[in-house]
Amino acid sequence: MPTTAYNPFENAQAQFDNVAEYLKLDEGMRELLRQPMVEMHFAIPVKMDDGSTKVFRAFRFRHNDARGPAKGGIRFHPHETADTVRALSMWMTWKCAVVDIPLGGGKGGVICDPHNLSRSEQERLCRGYVRQLYKQMGPNSDVPAPDVMTNAQHMLWMMDEYETIAGGRYPGMITGKPVGMGGSLGRTEATGFGVIFVLKDLLRCLDIPIESTSASLQGFGNVAEYTARMFTELGGKVIAVSCWNQSDKTAYTFKKADGCDIPQLVEIKDSFGSIDKEKALALGYEVLPGDAWLSQDVDILIPAALENQITPAVFPNISEKVKILCEAANGPTTPDCDELIKNRGIMLLPDFLTNAGGVTCSYFEQVQCNMNYFWDKTEVLEKLEYSMTKAFRAVYELSKEKNLYMRDAAYIIAINRVADAVRLRGWA
Ligand code: GLU
């Protein structure tokens, strides 16, 4: 799957430039918003279990904090690049703005493959990340969260390191923590469930019953898992799931024409989202090449893995039956596909709106930590559905009213909110 030929930062800037032109933003404002305001590049020395020292390159970028402290995940990935983190930090700014939470955009990354690190090496890496960044992070400045290949345990090690240095308790300095340790109920499910809250409302607007729809997904990490779980619980059928196989170093698509049993697939996946091929075969799944997820005859395609997966080169493989492209990953579609999507009449649910459930629940987590009073799961999920549906409706209505592509409508709302905050602060 192509992940390197396209530069995500150039994609993010191209998307921004288009909308900045439409909104006639001033030169200064454009320059400020088309790049991160702060970039930290650093090295983390980690004592490995065999006694040697390994040095990991790491990043934390703050794109914009005019609307509130920077917010965004930390990714562990062997192919992480500064430009990917730049793009992702920018998308976080738009994401927080489109759902109207008082947070800015940030993102972090470490170039590493956690598959090859023991639990204690991962702990030392997390603690090392905080030691290097301590002065630049905190509940009022920059608040990390889980992302690709990071989880609640990683967040807790980071919080513990931060609190050890700070000499106090600061649960609002990071989100996505384990429940009972400052985490929010529903945070694990939030991104995937948020995807479905948005999709469900679009289907309602289009008068399509969800029980009549089928989907094909790329990815089987946290976001894909909970997206697939809720989609199937509501009666939709997941025909295929594609994911990375660590032992074969390749991706496969697992298909069941009459619908995948998602809890069963979860049983046979590892913590990074790789489904066990042999076990899947034994359970009667067809095992197809990794890119076969894209060419299935389904109503809905849900890319829920990495960026730059849908390009003009693979676009013709998308079945004529597909009506909705529901972007659960960050930046899964390259900008040169937007015209192709429009021409085919496919409805697009843009990434930074569709997958904003995670950060919205992170915001709820911070609120609960500040009050030191935790809500039950029903309350969290009700609030999440309310926020996601409200944000989606605003985007959908603007797109109808002005005959705009849904990505552009989402950008217009988000960029306007951030530009207003920048102006009110007197920055531009
Ligand atoms: N990593 C998630 C995202 O890309 C969540 C960020 C957060 O909760 O701060 O939206």
Is the distance from CB of 238 to CB of 262 less than 8 angstroms? Answer: yes
CA 88, 121, 123, 165: dihedral to nearest 10 degrees? Answer: -100
Measured from the Cα of 356, ligand 1's closest atom is 10
Pocket test for ligand 1, best of 193, 354, 362, 380 (most atoms within 8 A of CB): 362
Q: What is the pLDDT along the chain (428 residues), one digit of tens a residue?
A: 444 479 999 999 999 999 999 999 999 999 999 999 999 999 999 999 999 999 999 999 999 999 999 999 999 999 999 999 999 999 999 999 999 999 999 999 999 999 999 999 999 999 999 999 999 999 999 999 999 999 999 999 999 999 999 999 999 999 999 999 999 999 999 999 999 999 999 999 999 999 999 999 999 999 999 999 999 999 999 999 999 998 899 999 999 999 999 999 999 998 888 999 999 999 999 999 999 999 999 999 999 999 999 999 999 999 999 999 999 999 999 999 999 999 999 999 999 999 999 999 999 999 999 999 999 999 999 999 999 999 999 999 999 999 999 999 999 999 999 999 999 999 99
**pTM confidence score:** 0.96
- Determine which residue's CA is closest to atom 6 belonging to ligand 1: 72
Measure 362 CA to ligand 1 centroid, in angstroms.
8
For residue 54, indicate whether it is catalytic: no
Is the distance from CB of 361 to CB of 187 less than 8 angstroms? Answer: yes
Is the distance from CB of 110 to CB of 145 less than 8 angstroms? Answer: no
